[in-house]
Chain A
Amino acid sequence: EVQLLESGGGLVQPGGSLRLSCAASGFTFSTYAMSWVRQAPGKGLEWVSSISDNGGATYYADSVKGRFTISRDNSKNTVYLHINRLRAEDTAVYYCAKYETPHSGFYSRSFDHWGQGTLVTVSS
């Protein structure tokens, strides 16, 4: 059974930093691209960032480019999202999601499994 478990959320002051983690199990983690998707309170889903299976390619939404960094450790079956210079508008539940298709064929594919999310609150 595929499981994705996010952690690392919390209350942070504007301008602060945070590292989110997503521990994966139940599939061959090193062969799948992974993604982060967020949802602000009462709002819709927003794609944030994605990373290829070997970590060699990364992608970012315009709203977070330059402030967020996605990375992964395939030896630990974990994907990370490093968040810097946090703003109030970054307040959201951050979900980790797995692509449906392994290796390089993930671009147009769906997110077939999601974690339960971790809440990031940016407030002074």
Chain B
Amino acid sequence: SYVLTQPPSVSVAPGQTATITCGGDNIGVKRVHWYQQRPGQAPVLVVYDDFDRPSGIPDRFAGSNSGNTATLIVSRVEAGDEADYYCQVFDYNSDHWVFGGGTKLTVL
């Protein structure tokens, strides 16, 4: 089955840039989606189709995808960005939807 690998944690000071990676075999040919989950809340879509943002998501959230790594970049990090972030793809070989293990973003 297809596996997505994320770092367990990323820490960044307010105002700095956070980079969260999502590794997968040839993930660059897949559509990658990113979700933010604040403590005690449901997930929220922040980036879809590699780099598009839903309405209401600030442009501080940006995505890219190439080769074996997709990346979520959060610029000018704020305290409210502290959350778990998950990447997700669809695996056509298994007809399964796959999530990465999640990355906890800590704002120092």
Point out residues on A near B: beta carbons under 8 Å. Answer: 35, 37, 44-47, 50, 59, 61-62, 95, 100, 107-117
Tell me which residues across on chain B come within 8 A of A59, comparing CB atoms.
Answer: 95-97
Tell me which residues across on chain B come within 8 A of A115, comparing CB atoms.
Answer: 42
Query: Does A114 contact B48, Cβ atoms closer than 8 Å?
Result: no
Tell me which residues across on chain B come within 8 A of A95, comparing CB atoms.
Answer: 42-43
Query: Does A112 contact B45, Cβ atoms closer than 8 Å?
Result: yes
Query: Does B96 contact A117, Cβ atoms closer than 8 Å?
Result: no
Query: Does A114 contact B102, Cβ atoms closer than 8 Å?
Result: no
A95 to B42, CA, bound (A): 8
Query: Does B101 contact A44, Cβ atoms closer than 8 Å?
Result: yes
Known: A107-B90, A108-B30, A110-B88. A35 touches B97 (CB 8 A): yes
A44 to B101, CA, bound (A): 6
CB distance from A46 to the nearest CB of B (A): 7
B1 within 8 A of A: yes
Point out residues on B near A: beta carbons under 8 Å. Answer: 1, 30-31, 33, 35, 37, 42-45, 48-49, 54, 84, 86, 88-90, 92, 95-102
Tell me which residues across on chain A come within 8 A of B49, comparing CB atoms.
Answer: 110
A95 to B30, CA, bound (A): 24
CB distance from A96 to the nearest CB of B (A): 10
Tell me which residues across on chain B come within 8 A of A100, comparing CB atoms.
Answer: 45, 48
The count of A-to-B residue pairs whose CB atoms sit within 8 angstroms is 65
A18 to B60, CA, bound (A): 42
Known: A50-B97, A61-B96. A45 touches B86 (CB 8 A): yes
Known: A35-B97, A44-B99, A50-B97. A109 touches B54 (CB 8 A): no
B99 closest partner in A (C-beta)? A45
Query: Does A110 contact B95, Cβ atoms closer than 8 Å?
Result: no
Query: Does B31 contact A108, Cβ atoms closer than 8 Å?
Result: yes
A49 closest partner in B (C-beta)? B97
Additional A-B contacts beyond A44-B100, A108-B90, A115-B42 (8; CB < 8 A): A44-B102, A45-B102, A46-B99, A100-B48, A107-B90, A107-B95, A109-B33, A114-B43
CB distance from B88 to the nearest CB of A (A): 7
Query: Does B48 contact A45, Cβ atoms closer than 8 Å?
Result: no
Query: Does A45 contact B42, Cβ atoms closer than 8 Å?
Result: no
